[in-house]
Amino acid sequence: MAVHLLRFPVQVVFGEGSLEEIRSFIRSFGKHALVVTGDGPTASMPAVDTLRGILAREGISVSLFSEVKSDPDVETVERGVARAREEGCDFVIGFGGGSPMDAAKVIAARLNNEGEIVSWEGVGRIPGRAKPLVCIPTTSGTGSEVTWVAVISGGKRGQKMSIVSQYLYPVLAVVDPCLTYTMPPEITAATGMDALTHALESHVSRRAWEPTRALSLKAAGLASAYLERACQDGSDTEARRGMSLASLLAGMAFTASGLGLAHALSHALGARFGIPHGVANAVLLPHVMRFNLPAAPEAYRELAAAMGMEISGLSSLRAAEKAVEAVEGLLAVLPLPRNLGDLGVPASSVESLAAEAFLNTRMRSSNPRETVPEDLVGILREALG
C-alpha cells in the first residue's frame, strides 16, 4: 500500500467581508508590512486602502511594493527584498493574483535566506524559514494562497521556475469573494480555467488520494457550475463565492497531489510567448485530457459526474469522455481564445516547446499517463487548431 502525506499548515479565513476580520490574526506577525501588489489596477483597489486602515489601527506600518508584472522575475523579487530591508519590514502581505502572491512568497523567503533564488528551483531547496507571509487573492484561480509553490521567471534557460518548499506556505490566507467582484470577464474566465485545471489535474494525479480527491471533485463541480455565471455577471455574488471556493479547494488539492501535462506545457508556453497562464491551460486542457483518458478512466468518470454530466449506463471510457465534453462545453461559452494558433504560436515552435515541457519531471511524474516527448508534440499540434 502507498504511504501518503497531507501537510496543510495555512490558516484560512474565508467569506464575504473576511478582509475586515484579519485584525485579530495579524497582530502577531510584526510591526511593519511590505504589501506586494501587481503594477496594474490592483494597487489602486479601494481594498488596499481598507487593508492599510486595518493595519494602521493595529499599529502596523505599511510599505507598498507595486512593481510586480505578470510572471514575475528574479530581479523584481530582489527589488522587493531590497525595499523591505531598506524600510525595516518584518512581514510580507501578497495582495492580488498569482503573480504578486508568488513574488511575495519568494520575497518573504529571501528576507531570511541568503543565496541565489535560481538555486531554489525544485523541491526543498530553500534553506530555512521565511518571514511571516499573508496572502490575499483578488482573483479566483491560482490557489497560491494555500500552496507551497511559487512560479518565478528567470531560470538558467529563461524558463519559469517552480520553487517548491514548506517555507513558502503562508501563515494566513484571506479569501474574500468581494475582492473578485470587479474582475473583468476575460480575467475571470482565464483564472477560473486555471482553477478548473488544478481541480482536474490534481484529481487524476498519480499522487492523488482520498482527501485530495474529495477536494478536487468539489472544486471541479463548483467551477463548472459557476464560471460561466461569474463571467456573464461579475456582480453575481453566489457565482463569485463559488469560484473563490473552487480556487481555494483546488489549491488545497494540488499542493498535496501535484499537477500534470497541461501545467508543464503551460509553463513552457508562458515563458516563451508570454501567454497568460490560465489562457494556456484552457486551450491545452481538453487535449491533455484526451491523451490521459486511457490511463485514468475511473478518475475522469468521477470528474464527469462531479461536473453534472449524465453518465449512467455508459461504459467506463465513454463516461470518462463526458468529462472532456464538459470542459469543451464550458470553453465554448467563455471569452477565451480557442487554440494556440489564435494566440500566435507558430507550428515551428512545437518541438522545442515539447522539449522544454518534458524537462518538468515533477509534473510529468504526477501525470497519470507515461509520457515521451513525441506525446507532448502531439498534444501541442492538436492544440494549435
- Residues lying near Fe ion in the complex (CB under 5 A): 194
DSSP 258: -
CB of 49 to Fe ion, least distance (A): 30
* Residue 76 or 247 having the CB closest to Fe ion: 247
CB of 112 to Fe ion, least distance (A): 26
CB of 351 to Fe ion, least distance (A): 24
CB of 352 to Fe ion, least distance (A): 22
Q: Is 181:277 a contact under the CB 8 Å cutoff?
A: no
Distance (Å, whole) CA 42 – CA 267: 24
* Residue 194 or 356 having the CB closest to Fe ion: 194
In the beta sheet, which residues pair with residue 123? 164
CB of 277 to Fe ion, least distance (A): 6
* Residue 10 or 55 having the CB closest to Fe ion: 10
- Which letter, b or e, does each residue of 122-160 get, where b requires 16 or more Cβ atoms within 10 Å of its Cβ? eeeebeeebbbbbbbbbbbbbbbbbbbbbbbbbbeeebb
- For residue 150, which of 94, 204, 196 has the smallest C-alpha distance? 94
* Residue 276 or 368 having the CB closest to Fe ion: 276
The DSSP code sequence of 106-152 is HHHHHHH--S-GGGG-EES---SPPPPEEEEESSSS--GGG-SEEEE
Q: Is 260:363 a contact under the CB 8 Å cutoff?
A: yes
* Residue 18 or 191 having the CB closest to Fe ion: 191
Residue showing cell 487554440: 339
CB of 279 to Fe ion, least distance (A): 11
* Residue 113 or 367 having the CB closest to Fe ion: 367
CB of 198 to Fe ion, least distance (A): 6
* Residue 194 or 302 having the CB closest to Fe ion: 194
The one-letter amino acid at 42: T
CA dihedral 39, 40, 42, 43 (to 10 degrees): 50
Distance (Å, whole) CA 206 – CA 122: 19
Residue of closest CB approach to Fe ion:
194
